[in-house]
Amino acid sequence: MRFTSILVANRGEIAVRVMRTAKALGYRTIAVYSEADAEAPHVAMADEAVCIGPAPVAQSYLDPQKILDAAARTGAGAIHPGYGFLSENSGFARACEAAGLTFIGPRPDAVDIMGNKAEAKRRMISAGVPCVPGYEGEDQADDTFIKAASEIGFPVMVKAAAGGGGRGMRLVDDAGDLPEAIRLARSEAENAFGSGELILEKAIMRPRHVEVQVFADEAGNTIHLGERDCSVQRRHQKVIEEAPCPVMTDELRAKMGAAAVDAAKAISYRGAGTVEFLLGADGEFYFLEMNTRLQVEHPVTEMITGIDLVNEQIRIAAGGSLDMTQDDITFDGHAIECRINAEDPQTFAPSPGTITYYHPPGGLGVRVDSGVYQGYKIPPYYDSLIGKLIVHGRNRVECMMRLRRCLDEFVVDEIKSTIPLFRNLVENQDIANGQYDIHWLEQYLANKK
């Protein structure tokens, strides 16, 4: 539990972000990097850096043994996995603990429970967390699904139990299409996840994606840090996130927050987690899944609560207790995050290459978490997120006005980026009014073409 150094098993903006807090707390920081990342900022800022192999992730950032070897070589005491890569790999978390390394994250068993939608939903139903009506039984016979669907009522969603983030999911409008959908979903799930296990759910039409940040310490003290609205997304990739959710009320937050805390407590959760809900147009909300990691969009929560989530993660991993209760958590103003991707803003095709000129915005209420600099060559091997612009204001209007100014100021030259898309989005009336759902962006993009 006690450690004085932290190896960050990640790259890009999140490696930089985690090291910032680790350094501020006085920990020795250790970076790992692939052969393609020797010039990356996370390498330069670390106290020590270890090359872990060739550019492809399977031979570097995704290889548990490469990370464990680097930790052994540098005498690391703890590992922060960031997001993606090994962050939700329970086998890796167990291997860390077996090697005497503190994994800065949840207990591996909690990761496994939430990694299976059927198991997760059964636990949530037992704990009284509102779930979408559906079927999540062990009996996987076609007839069982067909009977369940007729009771649930169409349209239904067929989901892979081992899937997540929209992978292995199918919408079925009527009973006639169900047998074929089950067959296809099952074989896709077997190929993608090595398990054909399925669940059924009533399809919620035009909901918002609202997720609640939770924190729990080893002793079981569990609190929530409010919600983020992440409905503005394309092909399950979030594009804009904001806190608070534009349609949130104090009563609804109290209910969703309590449900999220119940969800975490039901699995004896530890550390930072996010409980995802669908929020229907009628104000009903339903548990979807729980992410057992620090998320890309965590800064909007930090901006409105003033709490450094990585600091809390580290403190809890070191065996410390939460130094706040639910009543200490207050929400100040509004924060919006734009994900800056090295992509063509029209086609979303990746656009790696050299940044010839870089000028990030600054000023009051402005935060840029990035993993690039002027002269940096973005390698083609990794995801296209190069940074995040996070803007805070005393209210949503001030936040939006400040965001528009920041987007005007932001220059990332001679690669294509999603900044021009955000310049258009901040001028849109639906975005200005917070009137959007999970399908809004895809419709907006379709109508513009």
Q: Which is nearer to ligand MV4, 157 or 243 (CB)?
A: 157
- SS3 string, 25-71, reads CCCEEEEEEEHHHCCCHHHHHCCEEEEEECCCHHHCCCCHHHHHHHH
The tokens describing 76, both together, are: 């690391």
Q: How far is CA 395 from CA 76, 139, 296, 404, in A?
A: 42, 50, 22, 14
Is 293 annotated as catalytic? yes
Specify whether the CB–CB gap between 189 and 198 falls below 8 A. yes
Q: Which residues of 334-347 are buried (b: 16+ CB within 10 A; e: fewer)?
A: bbbbbbbbbbbbee
Neighbours of 287 (CB within 10 A): 24
Phi, psi torsion values for 104, nearest 5 degrees:
-80, 85
CA angle (229, 235, 241) in 5-degree steps: 20
Minimum distance between the CB of residue 70 and ligand MV4, rounded to whole angstroms?
32
CB of 289 to ligand MV4, least distance (A): 5
Work out how close the CB of 152 gets to ligand MV4 at its nearest, in angstroms, rounded to a whole number.
10
Which residues are at the interface with ligand MV4 (CB under 6 A)?
A: 132, 157, 165-166, 169, 201-204, 209, 233, 236, 276, 278, 288-289, 438
Least distance in Å: CB of 57 to ligand MV4?
A: 23
In the set 293, 339, 367, 402, the catalytic residue is 293
Q: Are 379 and 55 in contact (CB under 8 A)?
A: yes
Nearer to ligand MV4, 37 or 112 (CB): 112
Min dist. Cβ of residue 119 to ligand MV4 (A): 16
Distance between CA atoms of 107 and 406, rounded to whole angstroms? 39
Catalytic center residues:
293
